[in-house]
Amino acid sequence: MKLGVMCSGNGSNFENIVRTCNKDEVVLMIHNKRDCGAARRAQKLGITHAWMDHKDEVSMIKAFQAFNVDLIIMAGWMRIVTKTLIEAFPDRIINIHPSLLPKYKGLMAIERAFENRDPVTGVTVHYVTEELDSGAIIDQGKVLIHPDDTIDTLTRRIHLMEYSILPEAIEHVKYKLSSRTHRHLLSHSV
Ligand code: GRF
């Protein structure tokens, strides 16, 4: 299975994916901010990476196809993707979001949970659909909000949960995709 990753920022989830996946599994990382942490991490880790304009999804599709990518992971991609990309990789794009969806879709999810004094928030991995943060949920992890938390301490624990949940969700989706391919091959054999 070949994985492609999309990032806009720091890239700590991207680095964690590279470190927890099989060697050579992550074949391409696309970023839409020229000088971002994700690009520097890709350089350090020896992962092929490319800056691309987020509006040019056709070029992104061509790049992922050129690398035979089976599954795309949006790991901190801060843009809404359109039908163009989604239809090129049906059921093959997943996203990580720092809240217990369907609560707090969109930006500032950690801050909103914190400011509302919710006792618990968390992390969701879900399939990407045209509607923002609304596709089928693959996995969720809860994170308690402590009375003495600050945004920083809470964000840190959210990230730790992400580093645990996202690699597991990737394994789950990979398994589903490979068993689907296996069934397809079986049904087409004698
Ligand atoms: C994560 O909190 C993720 O849930 C959100 O963007 C953040 C990316 O962090 N979508 P990093 O770039 O992986 O450090």
At 122-177, the pLDDT tens digits run 999 999 999 999 999 999 999 999 999 999 999 999 999 999 999 999 999 999 99
Please give the number of the atom of ligand 1 that sits closest to the Cα of 74.
10
With a CB cutoff of 8 Å and minimum separation 6, the contacts of 18 are: 26, 41, 45, 47
pLDDT at 56: 98
For the chain, which ranges sit under pLDDT 50? none
Q: Annotated catalytic, 97?
A: yes
Nearest CA to ligand 1 atom 10: 76
Residue 122 Cβ < 6 Å to ligand 1: no
* Predicted structure pTM score: 0.95
Give, for 59, the enclosing helix (H) or strand (E). Answer: helix 57-66
pLDDT of 184: 76
Contact 88 CB / ligand 1 (< 6 Å): no
**Among candidate residues 76, 104, 99, 108, the one with its CA nearest the CA of residue 145:** 99
Q: What is the pLDDT of residue 163?
A: 98
Q: In which residue are the tokens 């999810």 written?
A: 109
Ligand 1: distance of its center to the CA of 25 in Å?
20
Task: Report the nearest atom of ligand 1 relative to the CA of 78.
Answer: 10
11 lines ligand 1 (CB under 6 A): yes
